[in-house]
């Protein structure tokens, strides 16, 4: 039986599952192929708990952690409404192709509606075909304001301490 659970970052069980699932994702090639640092493993749940706009959903299959969505609220100035960004989304390898991802994504959409969000955003690697298919089936599409200007791109700049 699959159950989608809103994580309580202050709960030792939920915190452990969030960190464990995120670490599994980080170790996967789609997550970069490197385990989480000891600092992240130790402090992630407490840091997320400090942020009222951070949310996580845990998918449990027969009470076993099977998937994770960490979402952060942002704000659309054009729509004057919140946005829910799916920052991390994963399904553990042992539970793939069992509908976990689709139900977890449906849980994300439910959460976004409960928060009054105008849209849900996410990023996906071009080479991650299964994730792209999941997101397309859930109604996602590349971000375009004006087709003459092309698709939006997700860029980053690391800040050194």
Contact 115/73 with Cβ under 8 angstroms?
A: yes
At a CB cut-off of 8 Å and minimum separation 6, what does 156 contact? Answer: none
Question: Residue 107: what pLDDT?
Answer: 98
Contact 21/67 with Cβ under 8 angstroms?
A: yes
Structure tokens, 5: 């659970």
Buried b vs exposed e over 146-158: b needs ≥16 C-beta within 10 Å?
A: eeeeeeeeeeeee
Domain locations in the chain as residue ranges: 2-149
Which of 88-97, 111-120, 152-161 shows the lowest mean pLDDT across its residues? 152-161
The top-level CATH class assigned to 2-149 is: alpha beta
- Confidence band (pLDDT; 50, 70, 90) for 161? confident
Structure tokens, 156: 């980053």
Question: In this model, does residue 103 exceed pLDDT 90?
Answer: yes
Question: Residue 92: what pLDDT?
Answer: 96
Question: In this model, does residue 65 exceed pLDDT 90?
Answer: yes
Percent of the chain with pLDDT over 90: 93
> What is the rounded CA–CA span in Å between residue 77 and residue 130?
32
Distances (CA, A) of 4 to 23, 84, 113, 145, 152: 19, 17, 16, 33, 31
Q: What are 129-152's pLDDT values in tens digits? A: 999 999 999 999 999 989 999 999
Structure tokens, 31: 């997550």
């Amino acid at each position: 039986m699959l159950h989608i659970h809103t994580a309580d970052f202050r709960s030792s069980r939920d915190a452990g599952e969030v960190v464990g699932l995120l670490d599994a994702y980080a170790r996967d090639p789609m997550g970069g192929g490197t385990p989480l640092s000891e600092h992240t493993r130790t402090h992630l749940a407490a840091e997320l708990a400090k942020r009222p706009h951070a949310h996580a959903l845990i998918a449990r299959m027969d009470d076993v952690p099977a998937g994770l969505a960490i979402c952060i609220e942002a704000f659309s100035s054009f729509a004057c409404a919140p946005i829910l960004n799916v920052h991390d989304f994963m399904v553990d390898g042992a539970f793939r192709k069992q509908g976990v991802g689709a139900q977890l994504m449906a849980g994300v959409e439910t959460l976004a509606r409960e928060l009054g969000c105008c849209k849900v955003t996410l990023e996906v690697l071009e080479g991650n075909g299964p994730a792209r298919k999941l997101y397309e089936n859930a109604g996602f599409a590349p971000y375009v304001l004006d087709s003459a200007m092309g698709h939006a791109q997700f860029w980053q700049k690391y800040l050194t301490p």
